Amino acid sequence: MLINEMKKINIKKKKILIRLDLNVPIQNNKITSYARIKASLPTIKLALKNKSKIMILSHLGRPIENKFDKKYSLFPIFKYLKKKIKNTKIHFLKNIYDQIKINYGEIIIFENVRFNLGEKENNTKLAKKYASLCDIFVMDAFGTAHRMEASTYGVGMFAKISCAGPLLMSEIKSLKKSIKKPKRPLITILGGSKISTKFNVLKKLAKISDTTIVGGGIANTFLAIKNNIGKSLYEKNFVKLAKKLLEKYNIIIPIDSRTLNVHDKKNTYLMKDSNLISDNEEIMDIGDQSIKKIIKIIKKAKTIIWNGPVGVFESKKFRLGTEKISYAIANNKNSFSLAGGGDTLAVIEMFNIKKKISYISTGGGAFLEFIEGKKLPSIQMLQKKYIKN
């Protein structure tokens, strides 16, 4: 893959426009997970080391375009970066069309790009405006690499020089390592609520994996092939497709579950075999026997691809399955573990296992699409803009 890399081109005293993924969860004006910001810091510091004029673009959430909404503002992220990056002037600019004043070795953080008219449709005028700000455009937001938008694709096509940041390069190399020539056994753990959003990647991973473990609503759809699953979340239209996958590949589904009776106001859970779920029960987590079975598989793995929790981990009562599996992955010192997706990042932070995971991808949709084998627009753009040194 021939693309320009930020680390390998001259960025000294240049105007650098960096597209980062600072799409972090914010509640009551406070950041609740710093994972994506921390992952972006080395890129910012590399530009600072070269005394560049640094301008940063990012999105946050899904606001209505051309309409300011405080809950989607990047201002809390700006405040955090001001505390985190010492001895550096950091400015915040609300409007991309305002006059820009910045010195070398300083940073401007622009307001949420998704407030800008034309961002999501990759508007040419907006893309050209972004490009006019810089000598070099750095694409370092893997989490949005699958979107053809003005700040991820269009700007790169119009910029004089476009290159990949170190985080994006790291993502690509780690993903390739886990799916091209993985050490075996290769196991995949795929959780989440909807099989419809992950079916194609599930099919691809099941094909290349020695064992595929499913959890959450995805597992419920598999359980529904032969079992009553009561009030549990599943997708009826995907049961037949799930059956075909189960017949063809080595897919592990829960043999027991923690369930909740929907009429029980005390929220008392019951441990039930997967074939004994009653009409008024809802599956909330995998059961103890399932946990033991899955941990045995994880301990033997040499490569682990992990995306999504296996239960309702937000609730203390129903996070045991996700917790035990998380620690099993973290404690397997003989494996290369690759984790990705928003909920997965939250789980990693919750159980404080970041240092024990070989590589943590900041991407969600991009992570899954790359594994599925789709061509990501931003990477295609960088390939088109490659300049041989």
Catalytic annotation, residues: 36, 194, 342, 365
Residue 63: asked if its preceding bond is cis (omega within 30°), the reply is: no
Axis crossing angle, helix 35-49 with helix 166-179, rounded to the nearest 10: 130
The CA-based angle 14-162-159, given to 5 degrees, is: 80
Q: How far does CA 58 lie from the centroid of its chain?
A: 15
* Residue ranges of E strands in the chain: 15-19, 26-27, 30-31, 53-57, 90-93, 107-110, 136-139, 161-164, 186-190, 211-214, 251-252, 256-261, 269-273, 281-286, 303-307, 336-340, 359-361
Q: Which of 162, 95, 158 is nearest to 127 (CA)?
A: 158
The label of the residue with tokens 């020695």 reads 210
How many residues in the chain?
Answer: 389
Residue 66: CB atoms within 10 A of its CB come to 11
CB 73 within 8 A of CB 60: yes
| Cα–Cα distance, 206 to 184 (Å, whole number) | 14
3-class secondary-structure state, position 257 = strand
The DSSP secondary structure of 97-124, one letter per residue, reads: TS-----TT-EEEE--GGGSTTTTTT-H
**SS3 category, 327:** helix
Nearest to 306 by CA among 335, 334, 337, 332: 337
For residues 96 and 107, what is the distance between their CA atoms, to the nearest angstrom?
14
The closest alpha carbon to 341, from 175, 176, 181, belongs to 175
